[in-house]
Amino acid sequence: MWRVSNVRRAAVPRMIPRHLSSVGTPASTQNAPDSSDVVVIGGGVVGTSIAYHLAKYGAKNVVLLEKTELTAGSTWHAAGLVTYFNPGINLKKFHNYSLNLYKTLEAETGQNVGLHTPGSIRICTTSARMDEAKFQQSRQNWHEAFQALISPDEIAAKHPLLNMDGILGGIYSKGDGYIDPYSVTMALAQGAKLHGAHICQHLPALDLSEQSDGSWHVSTAKGTIHANTIVNCTGFWGRELLQGWLNVDLPLVTIEHQYVITNSIAQVAARGNDQLPVIRDLEASYYLRQERTGMLVGPYEAGTDMKVRTDWQSNGVPSEFGKELFAPDVDRLLPHLEAAMHRMPVLEEAGIQNVTCGPICYAPDALPLVGYLPHRRLRNVFIATGMSYGIAHGGGCGDYVAKWILHGEPPYDLTEIDPARSLSCHVLYVGYVHGRGWLRYGAWATPAFTAAKARESYGDNNLISHPILDKQAGRPTSRVSRLYETLAQHGAQFGLHSGWEVPHWFATSDAEIGHEPSYFRSNSFGPTKRECDAVMERVGLTDLSSFATFQVHGPSARAFLELMCANSVPKVGASIRICHLCTPLGKVLGELTVTALTDESFYVVTGAGTELHDLRWLDTHADAFRDVEIVNTSDTTGVLGLAGPRAAAVLAAATPPEHLTFPYMKLQHTTIQGIDVRVLGLSFTGEAGYELHVPLQHIRVVYDAVWHAGQAHGIQNVGSFAVHSMRLEKGFRVWGSDMNKDTTPLEAGLHRFLKLDKATPFVGQRALQQESQRGSLKTLVHLHVHTDIPAPGHEPLDAWGNEAVWYNGSVVGYTTSGGYGHTVHKSIALAYVPPKLAVEGHQVDVELVGHKYKATVHLEPFMETQLMRKLKQAET
């Protein structure tokens, strides 16, 4: 029997485990040149992949520096799983590229990579897991990799050694499998050398020194290398290296990951070359794959059981650590091993060959950090670290990084892994902290927060991936609005956005407290309707303090913003402008509202999740304007949103009598209770409304005054879910979903915000002029999704975004966002379709949780803004 005592006595290897395919020949060490286009630091699978792709794509004298041997760190002991599957829409591209590359790498380099592709099955043992599988399938169908829902009988046929009790179905990914991490790294290194890169082992980077032109000097024991760009791929060393070199603190932590390898199993050996597919038992939280003629079991322990190396976080990685392992802790594995034995009974008779416990690097949200550091004073420093799935990510990451560095913009949207990201409920960096000591991306992203969030993310690795997961670890951070306690007393149900606690809705009963994860309408539906009604009928008040705000000033500030913005930059006293940042290829990089304060000073507002993303782009281009300064005021500015037919009356009651009017899309200065307030005449609800921008320390005073003034008008607190519903009805786009680096503003229907013939050129202008002449490849349309009568087994539901759009039996597009319009009483979505299908009244299907619902195409929003309704009423 596979007894607990056997597991506890298992030998722990202190060398490269012989648990995968053939072992390659180590890449020889080379001498480094004096200068290089790019120096890559770190010789794991990610570093060698980046060096390989840079050299292949034409970078000159690419240098890879590895302080010990290639694969040291996390790569050498990895379980080697590779898969086309990923629940994230964009990371599927990473996985797809990686597997396709690994399949051809041996032919190119002559180095065997030890790739096995028996496929994989994610087994579902609950009805909730089946809903998840159907949800994932609806999002997969517009991607190229094969993935299918299969029945229990099909699972049994593919893996006859499984105990099928309780299995309801699964997701089968053809071509998935596993690879020898050591061999694939050696093949990438060999390929890099073939294309002219220099692979330097036992040659650590000792220090970095930035030059006045933004290039770098890299100090080594054998001299200094002059490099145009630095790429840090040093895994769990990455945090302390950047601390020491650049005074940058990254939110990274090391986690212990364990797996067990069995001795040979007769039933497995008897199959010969007919390998078993990889199994992922989601409820029991482990993966199971064939290892020669035995099996490998890799659990993800619960967050309460797994181990975070907080000692490394506090004291640094031991200097001698390279190809070492940790002592295993079998007690943490036992529940998962018992589950694996139940699912595959032949494991009960298997002996243990070894237990491996090694370090992997985690960010708080378990997603890697890949991109340029978001800091104007540290130009041309790229990082690619925090790879919790480094082998699966490695090939795709190398391609992505190389193209970004060489072409000046990412090849496709992967904002979720950008070091400048600040995503909802998956947050990392916010704000710059200058001064002595380390630079931290937001004082709120403390080591304690990072460790708590990473522990939660690792423990929830196989948690059902609902569209919204309101995870609580590490919250609240120090970055909370001064209204946090007040709004909590009003029943606010918060979500985490860029470190801020943002009210999603306000509960008035126990049933509305706490988010209930679901693919269908949840307990937030009722309060969201109530808040939409308040805005449409009376007046609503929203805490928007998570907005990012910048001050751009200097003699060349206007010229700078004209270069950045596809719209014309406003003059003093003119209307506030909605402006879009574009890449040189004409993709949408961001959306800003720009207000002229003086001829040389502008107030810029963007979303919470794009604070450092947009600031990095602005900073990068501001280098060419020596007299332009950009000041990030996000942490010192509070914002309140006031919207609805009674908003003007409420604001008039709260402000001095000399300020009787607050025009639409104009800036007005006023005071409330003696506090200076910038009133911007706009609202993302599309209703008559205002944004009140105040010093953050005084926002409670302003809120109380507005709340008091609104009592006579039926004022109500309103959360972000209600704002989302109303913006969908008006057809307002959101950056990151409806428009991003995979779309152009013309495709997104932003024509009225573009000045393609503007006299002062802007970034991306030429590409957009060419697209305007030849036509766009896709068009964003409005869909009325007919979910009025849910399919059998379905509760009432709406689109979330990224679901497949079907026409005549083929996938023709995808949704970008969706929800219920509580004013128009329709389930609605925005979606990209081919221009020939962008026809009013056209019928398509939208796949939601395994069922295709009819949808009607509309070219205009379902509801006009309050201003347009007012103008039309005046005309009649």
**Superfamily in which the 475-754 domain is placed by CATH:** Probable tRNA modification gtpase trme; domain 1 (3.30.1360.120)
Which amino acid, one-letter code, is at 454?
Answer: A
| 876 Cβ neighbours under 8 A, 6+ residues apart | none
Phi, psi angle pair for 846, to nearest 5°: -115, 125
Give residue for tokens 């306000």: 506
Q: What is the mean pLDDT of each run of 10 residues along the chain (876 residues)?
A: 45 39 50 95 99 98 97 97 92 95 97 98 98 93 87 99 98 98 98 98 96 95 97 96 91 96 98 98 98 98 95 92 94 96 97 95 93 84 95 98 96 91 36 26 80 95 92 92 96 93 97 96 98 99 97 98 98 96 98 98 94 93 93 96 98 89 93 98 97 98 99 98 98 96 98 96 98 98 97 95 96 97 98 98 97 98 90 78
Predicted local confidence at residue 320, as pLDDT: 86
Q: Are 354 and 12 in contact (CB under 8 A)?
A: yes
Tokens (6 digits) for 625: 């304007």
Sequence length of the chain is: 876
Buried b (16+ CB within 10 A) or exposed e, 139-152: bbbbbebebebbeb
Buried b (16+ CB within 10 A) or exposed e, 623-659: eebeebebebbbbebbbbbbbbbbbbebbebbbeeeb
Tokens (6 digits) for 649: 């009356």
Predicted local confidence at residue 9, as pLDDT: 40
Give the CA count within 13 Å in the CB-facing half-sphere of 821.
26
| 391 Cβ neighbours under 8 A, 6+ residues apart | 45, 75, 78, 79, 80, 81, 82, 98, 179, 181, 184
Give the integer Cα–Cα distance in Å for 40 and 199: 10
What is the CB neighbour count within 10 angstroms for residue 58? 12
Give the integer Cα–Cα distance in Å for 568 and 403: 31
Cα 718 to the center of its chain, rounded Å = 26
| 875 Cβ neighbours under 8 A, 6+ residues apart | none
Alpha-carbon Rg for the chain in angstroms: 28
Predicted local confidence at residue 642, as pLDDT: 99
Q: Are 618 and 610 in contact (CB under 8 A)?
A: no
Q: Which of 188, 257, 263 is nearest to 6 (CA)?
A: 263
Q: Are 416 and 226 in contact (CB under 8 A)?
A: no
Tokens (6 digits) for 571: 């003059």
Burial of 465 (0-12, 13-18, 19+ CB in 10 A): middle
Give the integer Cα–Cα distance in Å for 180 and 13: 17
What is the CB neighbour count within 10 angstroms for residue 100? 16
Strands 492-497 and 439-440, bridge-based pairing: unpaired
Q: Are 402 and 498 in contact (CB under 8 A)?
A: no
To the nearest 10 degrees (0 to 180), the angle between helices 45-56 and 390-407 is 30
pLDDT digits (tens, 9 = 90+) for 36-81: 999 999 999 999 999 999 999 999 999 999 999 999 999 999 999 9
The DSSP-derived string for 215-233 is: -EEEEETTEEEEEEEEEE-
Buried b (16+ CB within 10 A) or exposed e, 264-295: ebeebeeeeeebbbbbbbbebbbbbbbbbbbb
The CATH number of 778-866, from 3.40.1160.10, 3.40.640.10, 1.20.1560.10, 2.40.30.110, is 2.40.30.110
Strands 278-281 and 286-291, bridge-based pairing: antiparallel
Predicted local confidence at residue 563, as pLDDT: 98
Bond prior to 476 in cis (omega within 30° of 0): yes
Secondary structure (3-state) at 139: helix
Q: Are 357 and 349 in contact (CB under 8 A)?
A: no
3-state DSSP of 60-79: CCCEEECCCCCCCCCCCCCC
Give the integer Cα–Cα distance in Å for 780 and 766: 22
Q: Which of 637, 720, 717 is nearest to 685 (CA)?
A: 720
Buried b (16+ CB within 10 A) or exposed e, 756-785: eeeeeebbbbebbeebbeeebebbbbbbbb
Cα 745 to the center of its chain, rounded Å = 21
Predicted local confidence at residue 442, as pLDDT: 58
Alpha-carbon separation of residue 498 from 12, 477, 479, 765, 837 (angstroms)? 41, 10, 9, 31, 37
Q: Hey, do 475-754 and 778-866 end up sharing a CATH topology, with the first three levels equal?
A: no
Q: Are 630 and 557 in contact (CB under 8 A)?
A: no
Cα 471 to the center of its chain, rounded Å = 16
Give the integer Cα–Cα distance in Å for 37 and 540: 54
Each domain of the chain, given as residue ranges in start order, spans 475-754, 778-866
Predicted local confidence at residue 28, as pLDDT: 54
Cα 763 to the center of its chain, rounded Å = 25
Using CA atoms of 95, 99, 104, 108 in order, give the dihedral in degrees to the nearest 10.
Answer: 50
Predicted local confidence at residue 7, as pLDDT: 47
Q: Are 429 and 621 in contact (CB under 8 A)?
A: no
Q: Which of 735, 383, 406 is nearest to 584 (CA)?
A: 406
Cα 789 to the center of its chain, rounded Å = 33
- Cα end-to-end distance, the chain, whole Å: 85
